[in-house]
């Protein structure tokens, strides 16, 4: 059994001040960095908890109707322009930047589509390897998942992880959602599907 840390979309556009900023997003990025430092101080496979650390990232070139470029977004299937490839909004938050060198791989998603789940992404290193295959190649069976936003990309990533057969611990102190109602519904859906909430308040 191997455990990996999977952090979802810790990007500027999803944190306060971004085009789709989520309240608490910056704090989530900071807590994610603390978790990386606490569990993997030397980037070597020793006695730390995680055998791999991976990030997902929205990386949109032309995602079609996912971006509301004409008219107002409905915030269900269309959204403000966000995480455009090679822009500051797509960069990882400043609180997480200092630990990027401790991350094993980044999986970019949504170049030409919506792509909420990290399991729709491909490794930056080769542009071909999907997240599920990458994890299995490293003997990963269990995932700790955190990130932004609880009710959208975290939800989709967790549900896909469970569907792929991974055991999931949801890091409730390292997530932030868009709205209270949809966040609560997403938490209920994820735990009902088999994810185990862990952390303060769980």
Catalytic residue at 153?
Answer: yes
Catalytic residue at 9?
Answer: yes
Instruction: Please state, in angstroms and rounded to a whole number, the distance separating the CA atoms of residues 163 and 40.
Output: 28
Catalytic residue among 58, 144, 153, 160: 153
Catalytic residue among 9, 13, 58, 151: 9
Question: Quick one: residue 102, left, alpha or beta (phi over 0 = left, psi -120 to 50 = alpha)?
Answer: alpha
The pair of structure tokens assigned to 184 is 């609560």
Catalytic residue among 13, 109, 151, 160: 109
Catalytic residue at 91?
Answer: no
Element (H, E) at 142: strand 142-148
Residue with tokens 């009902």: 192
DSSP 8-state symbol, 21: -
Task: Report, as residue numbers or ranges, the catalytic residues.
Answer: 9, 109, 153
């Amino acid at each position: 059994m191997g455990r990996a840390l999977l952090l979802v979309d810790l990007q500027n556009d999803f944190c306060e001040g971004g085009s789709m900023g989520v309240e608490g997003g910056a704090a989530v990025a900071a807590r994610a960095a603390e978790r990386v430092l606490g569990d993997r101080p030397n980037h070597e496979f020793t006695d730390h908890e995680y055998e791999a650390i991976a990030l997902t990232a929205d990386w949109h070139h032309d995602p079609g109707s996912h971006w509301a470029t004409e008219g107002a977004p409905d915030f269900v299937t269309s959204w403000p322009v966000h995480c455009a490839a090679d822009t500051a909004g797509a960069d990882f938050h400043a609180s997480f930047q200092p630990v990027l060198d401790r991350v094993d791989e980044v999986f970019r998603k949504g170049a030409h589509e919506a792509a909420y789940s990290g399991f729709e992404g491909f490794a930056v290193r080769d542009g071909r390897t999907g997240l599920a295959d990458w994890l299995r190649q490293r003997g990963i069976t269990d995932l700790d998942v955190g990130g932004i936003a609880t009710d959208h990309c975290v939800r989709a990533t967790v549900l896909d992880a469970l569907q792929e057969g991974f055991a999931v611990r949801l890091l409730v102190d390292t997530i932030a959602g868009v709205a209270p109602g949809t966040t609560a519904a997403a938490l209920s859906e994820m735990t009902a599907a088999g994810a185990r909430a862990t952390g303060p308040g769980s």
